[in-house]
């Protein structure tokens, strides 16, 4: 039951209709100057929209286009209804972690967070997540309008009305969570407001109230939605029971975490503020989180459909392709929910796109260079930890990325296959075939003076500012004309959530099994076998650290690392000085040679001997590295102008 109408689901399908709606059907709705104060006007009214089953279907598609899309794809300053998270000039939250250095100095994250100048008295475009400009409140308003009117739409079946309502509830819950994880408790809106309201009082919800509100909506939706999509080719992106249950796990994960669930609030002296914590440590929150994960996997075991993409061979490149296919392809069986803003990536097509601004193959690079700390999180290809000092002592640093001969076509990658899908490292071939998984093309050069890195590692500029370049969601020409979806929830994430819930409730052995399921997909041996000295079957803290590291490797550039550091109040990690790696090519006499290999005759085989220097990143530095981490930064400040409207918004502490 509750099958979806047959139509190709992309955000583009509803954009023309969306333009008509937002200009003349429903009021501009956000917690800004026009929030809930204008009646619907113009020639097209809500009565018109909900007088047609076709219009109502298009209206629902419009709601989908308002969901979070994690890749910056355009400059939104000229858009009537911009989604600020899409703005390349702001910056992704990943740039605030220990995984990436953000080297575009004009970016909002640099000017406010790296420099430590952020205050609550800011414009609407100055925070890492705009409270006003991410279509959250528009999506909430429009979703309630649909829910309140869907049962009166002529020609719309009762089955579709139930399905539309459930999907709208999921959109509300997801939009709330997008905001909740940045701010904590937020005002709870449980209906649309009529346009005649001239004043309103909507107090800020507590953490508990906000969590219960989101979870309640998802539970209601999961009761009626189908477990999976009948046809991923046409319905990709629609909410399902599986997606709703997985989102519930994610919400309860955040709720149970120390940021909200501890003996003390994250900010000293704020114990009376129930919008930022539960008021005490509650073990039952971990149990509730565990129960949600168990319920999900019980349904998965009964219904199937979703599974991790596995490799067709045992080469590192086979595992690379399996991992890549799992997150990047629209029909991936492990993507539980995806969002999109346009259909195809035309690749440097005029958009302010992720590709145009981030690709190491492109002519410019404004953004995300992986750190040495991130690269060292990835183990060797067998799953044993990579340890710099031990590798250096053995004289094996030249083997830390690959061995063998480029010209001899026997190049062997030596690390966790996911490393080469998150980070471009020296010697890594440019292309990975989507069918055969064969690597081809020239190998990337990242030493000082090389073809790709040039002087980047010296000047800390360009694609290889840290000695490394990004590849997640980029993939060069490999991604040309593929669907550019954002994998909002992946099955591997749910496995790792389940592992965390099990660990926090004392079942270490079963927690390790869930992590090992994810590691096995890329050919890594089990956690315990690879870490015999860490007492992972008895040391909860050690196991949590391994789970968080595994999440960073599996979910790179998917926002996971930043929110994991926030959830566990890892101020020490935020304050840690980060590093890059300078490589110097050595000639036969052991002297440094700052010249490229490609384009310079390619004499001999690809260079294989180097000097290595870890260096402190300083272009730019971060305020936290010098001044320490103030816990106020865990949550964002509400705009002071919004707080001053006195509809019930209480500022987060420290701001």
Mean pLDDT is lowest, of 55-69, 199-213, 390-404, 473-487, for: 473-487
For 400-434, the pLDDT digits (tens) are 999 998 776 789 999 999 999 999 999 999 999 99
| 525 contacts: CB under 8 Å, gap ≥ 6 | 382, 383, 384, 519
The more confident residue out of 83 and 358 is 83
pLDDT at 503: 98
pLDDT of residue 495 exceeding 50, the answer is yes
When computed from its CA atoms, the radius of gyration of the chain, rounded to whole angstroms, is: 25
Query: Please, is 446 exposed, middle or buried when counting C-beta atoms within 10 Å of its C-beta (0-12, 13-18, 19+)?
Result: buried
So what's the pLDDT on residue 363? 62
Task: Measure Cα distances from 609 to 42, 227, 588 in Å.
Answer: 70, 53, 9
User: Dihedral of CA 168/170/174/176: which sign?
Assistant: positive
Tell me which residue range forms the domain holding 423.
Answer: 344-482+579-616
Residue that has been written with the tokens 């704020």 in this structure: 270
Shared-domain flag, residues 156 and 286: yes
User: What are the tokens at 149?
Assistant: 């009117």
Q: Tokens at residue 575, please?
A: 């304050």
Which DSSP letter does residue 521 get? H
Q: In this predicted structure, what is the pLDDT of residue 37?
A: 29
| C-beta atoms surrounding 613 within 10 Å | 14
Mean pLDDT of 556-581: 98
Mean confidence (pLDDT) of the chain:
88
Q: How confident is the model at residue 258, as a pLDDT?
A: 98
Assess whether 59 and 144 both reside in one domain. yes
The predicted model gives 85-100 an average pLDDT of 90
CA distance 572 to 387: 21
Contact criterion met (CB below 8 Å) for 159 and 2: yes
Q: Residue 76: is its pLDDT beyond 70?
A: no
List, for residues 34-71, the tens digit of each pLDDT value: 332 223 333 457 888 899 999 999 999 999 989 999 98
In the chain, the number of structural domains is: 2
Q: Are 21 and 176 in contact (CB under 8 A)?
A: no
Q: Does a structural domain hold residue 632?
A: no
Q: Which residue has the higher pLDDT, 30 or 465?
A: 465
Largest CA distance in the chain: 83
- Of 294, 328, 357, the position where a domain reaches its end is 294
pLDDT at 26 over 50: no
Q: What is the mean pLDDT of residues 367-373?
A: 93
CA angle 157, 225, 151 (to 5 degrees): 30
Flag whether 633 is in a domain.
Answer: no
* Residue 504 banded pLDDT, cuts 50, 70, 90: very high
Cβ neighbors of 164 (< 8 A, separation 6 or more) are 56, 57, 60, 146, 150, 156
**How many CA atoms, within 13 angstroms, populate the side-chain half-sphere of residue 9?**
29
Question: Residue 293: which of 335, 245, 254 has the closest Cα?
Answer: 245
- Cα gap 590→540, rounded to integer Å: 46
Same domain, 239 and 351: no
Q: Is 164 part of any domain?
A: yes
Q: Is the Cα torsion angle 119, 121, 127, 130 positive or negative in sign? A: positive
Any domain includes 270: yes
Does 29 or 655 have the greater pLDDT score? Answer: 655
Same domain, 360 and 251: no
**Is the predicted pLDDT of residue 125 greater than 90, yes or no?**
no
C-alpha of 30 from chain center: 24
Q: What are the backbone dihedrals phi and psi of residue 483, each rounded to the nearest 5 degrees, phi first?
A: -65, 135
Instruction: Return the closest-CA partner of residue 583 out of 470, 456, 472, 461.
Output: 456
Is 649 inside any structural domain? no
Per-residue confidence at 194, pLDDT binned at 50, 70, 90?
Answer: low
Residues 367 and 465 occupy one common structural domain: yes
Query: Is 493 part of any domain?
Result: no
pLDDT band at 231 (very low <50, low <70, confident <90, very high): confident
| Both structure tokens of 99 | 């995984």
Q: Which residues pair with 102 in a beta bridge?
A: 368
Q: Collapsing DSSP states into helix, strand and coil, what is residue 614?
A: strand
Say whether pLDDT at 358 is over 80. Answer: no
**Contact present, 154 and 52 (Cβ < 8 Å):** yes
On whether both 182 and 289 belong to a single domain, the answer is yes
Q: Highest-confidence range of 54-68, 170-184, 228-242, by mean pLDDT?
A: 170-184
Residues 362 and 286 reside in one and the same domain: no
Among 498, 614, 493, CA closest to 563 = 493
**pLDDT given for residue 446 in this prediction:** 95
> CA angle at residue 45 from 44 to 49, to 5 degrees?
90
Q: Which CATH number is 176's domain given? A: 1.25.40
**What are the CA-CA distances from residue 271 to residues 260, 262, 264 (Å)?**
11, 11, 7
Q: Are residues 394 and 283 in the same domain?
A: no
CA 162 – CA 424 distance, rounded (Å): 47
DSSP state of 112: I
> Residue 112: inside a domain, yes or no?
no
Do 45 and 153 fall within a single domain? yes
Residue 652 placed within a domain: no
Predicted confidence at residue 157, as pLDDT, reads: 97
Q: What is the pLDDT of residues 247-301, one digit of tens each?
A: 999 999 999 999 999 999 999 999 999 999 999 999 999 999 999 999 999 999 9
- The whole-angstrom separation of Cα 75 and Cα 87 is 5
> Residue 37 in 3-state DSSP?
coil
Same domain, 360 and 281: no
pTM equals 0.93
The pLDDT of residue 104 is 85
258 and 402 assigned to the same domain: no
Q: Looking at per-residue confidence, does 483 or 145 come out higher? A: 145
Same domain, 264 and 350: no
pLDDT tops 70 at residue 1: no
- The Cα–Cα gap between 580 and 562 comes to 19
């Amino acid at each position: 039951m509750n099958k979806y109408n047959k139509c190709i689901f992309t955000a583009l399908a509803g954009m023309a209709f969306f333009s008509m709606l937002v200009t003349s059907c429903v009021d501009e709705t956000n917690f800004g100057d026009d929030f809930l104060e204008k009646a619907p006007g113009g020639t097209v009214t809500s009565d018109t929209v909900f007088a047609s089953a076709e219009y109502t279907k298009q209206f629902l598609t419009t709601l989908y286009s308002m969901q979070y899309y994690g890749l910056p794809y355009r400059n939104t300053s000229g858009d009537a209804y911009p989604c600020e998270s899409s703005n390349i000039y702001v910056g992704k939250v990943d740039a605030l972690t220990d995984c990436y250095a953000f080297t575009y100095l004009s970016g909002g994250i640099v000017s406010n967070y790296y420099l430590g100048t952020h205050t609550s008295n800011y414009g609407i475009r100055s925070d890492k997540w705009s409270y006003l400009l991410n279509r959250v409140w528009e999506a909430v308003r429009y979703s309630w309008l649909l829910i309140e009117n869907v049962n009166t739409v002529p020609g719309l079946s009762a089955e579709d009305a139930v399905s539309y309502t459930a999907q709208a509830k999921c959109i509300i819950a997801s939009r709330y969570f997008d905001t909740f994880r940045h701010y904590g408790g937020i005002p709870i809106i449980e209906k649309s407001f009529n346009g005649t309201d001239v004043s309103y009082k909507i107090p800020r919800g507590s953490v508990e109230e906000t969590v219960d509100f989101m979870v309640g909506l998802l539970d209601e939706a999961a009761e009626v939605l189908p477990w999976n999509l009948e046809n991923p080719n046409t319905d990709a992106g629609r909410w399902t029971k599986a997606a709703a249950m997985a989102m519930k796990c994610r919400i309860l994960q955040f709720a149970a975490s120390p940021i909200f669930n501890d003996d003390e609030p994250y900010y000293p002296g704020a114990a009376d503020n129930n919008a930022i914590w539960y008021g005490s440590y509650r073990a039952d929150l971990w149990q509730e989180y565990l129960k949600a994960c168990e319920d999900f996997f019980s349904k998965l075991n009964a219904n199937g459909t979703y599974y991790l993409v596995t490799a067709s061979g045992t080469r590192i490149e086979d595992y690379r392709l399996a991992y890549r296919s799992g997150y990047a392809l629209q029909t991936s069986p492990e993507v539980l929910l995806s969002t999109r803003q346009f259909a195809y990536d035309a690749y440097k097509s005029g958009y302010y796109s992720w590709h145009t601004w981030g690709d190491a193959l492109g002519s410019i690079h404004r953004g995300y260079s992986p750190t040495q700390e991130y690269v060292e999180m990835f183990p060797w290809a067998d799953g044993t930890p990579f340890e710099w000092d031990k590798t250096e002592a053995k004289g094996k640093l030249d083997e830390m990325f690959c061995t063998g001969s480029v010209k001899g076509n026997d190049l062997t990658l030596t690390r966790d296959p996911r490393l080469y899908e998150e980070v471009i490292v020296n010697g890594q071939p440019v292309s990975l075939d989507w069918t055969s998984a064969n690597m081809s093309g020239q190998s990337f050069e990242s030493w000082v003076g090389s073809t790709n890195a040039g002087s980047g590692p010296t000047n800390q500029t360009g694609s290889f500012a840290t000695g490394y370049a990004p590849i997640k969601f980029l993939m060069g020409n490999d991604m040309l004309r593929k669907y550019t979806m954002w994998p909002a929830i992946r099955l591997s994430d749910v496995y790792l959530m389940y592992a965390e819930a099990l660990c926090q409730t004392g079942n270490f052995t079963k927690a390790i099994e869930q992590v090992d399921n994810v590691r096995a997909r890329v050919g890594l041996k089990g956690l315990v076998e690879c870490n015999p000295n860490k007492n992972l079957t008895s040391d909860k803290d050690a196991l949590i650290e391994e789970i968080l590291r595994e999440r960073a490797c599996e979910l790179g550039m998917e926002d996971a690392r930043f929110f994991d550091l926030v959830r566990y109040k890892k101020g020490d990690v935020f304050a840690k000085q980060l590093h890059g790696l300078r490589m110097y090519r050595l000639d036969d006499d052991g002297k440094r040679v700052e010249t490229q290999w490609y384009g310079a005759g390619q004499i001999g085989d690809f260079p294989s001997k180097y000097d290595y220097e870890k260096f402190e990143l300083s272009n730019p530095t971060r305020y936290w590295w010098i001044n320490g981490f103030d816990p106020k930064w865990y949550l964002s400040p509400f705009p002071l102008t919004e707080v001053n409207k006195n509809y019930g918004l209480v500022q987060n502490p420290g701001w």
